[in-house]
Every structure is written in C-alpha cells, then in structure tokens.
C-alpha cells in the first residue's frame, strides 16, 4: 500500500471553495443542522439552568 506523504502547509490563509449540491442533499443537510442545533444545550453561568440555543 502506498503511503501519502504530506509536507507542512506553507501558509494558513483561508481558502474559499464553492460546491454545487443537488437540492435533495441540501435539504437533508438543512434538516440535519436543525436537528443538531435543537440538541445543543448550554448551561447558563448565571443561574445554572439549561437553555437551548
């Protein structure tokens, strides 16, 4: 098996990319993001009670 050797990245500048997705994939990603967001729970530092964001 050939091993891939990567050298250090010369700079840390961000790179913008564009990806075209079928509508069905985009729709599924939005549903997944909404679900994960609804499951994210923070504990308030002031009162110690849970709050959803």
The per-residue pLDDT for range 1-53, each reduced to its tens digit, is 678 887 887 888 888 999 999 999 999 999 988 888 777 666 555 555 555 55
Give the chain's domain count: 1
Which of 43, 19, 21 lies closest to 30 in space, CA to CA?
21
Considering the domain boundaries, does residue 3 fall inside one?
A: no
Q: What is the pLDDT of residue 44?
A: 54
CA quadruple 49, 50, 52, 53: dihedral sign: positive
User: 16 lies in a domain?
Assistant: no
pLDDT at 37: 79
pTM: 0.46
Domain coverage including residue 46: 23-52
């Amino acid at each position: 098996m050939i091993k891939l050797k990567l050298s250090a990245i010369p700079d840390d500048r961000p790179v913008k990319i564009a990806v075209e997705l079928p509508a069905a994939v985009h729709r599924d990603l939005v549903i997944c993001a909404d679900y994960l967001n609804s499951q994210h729970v923070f504990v308030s530092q002031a009162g110690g009670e849970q709050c959803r964001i």
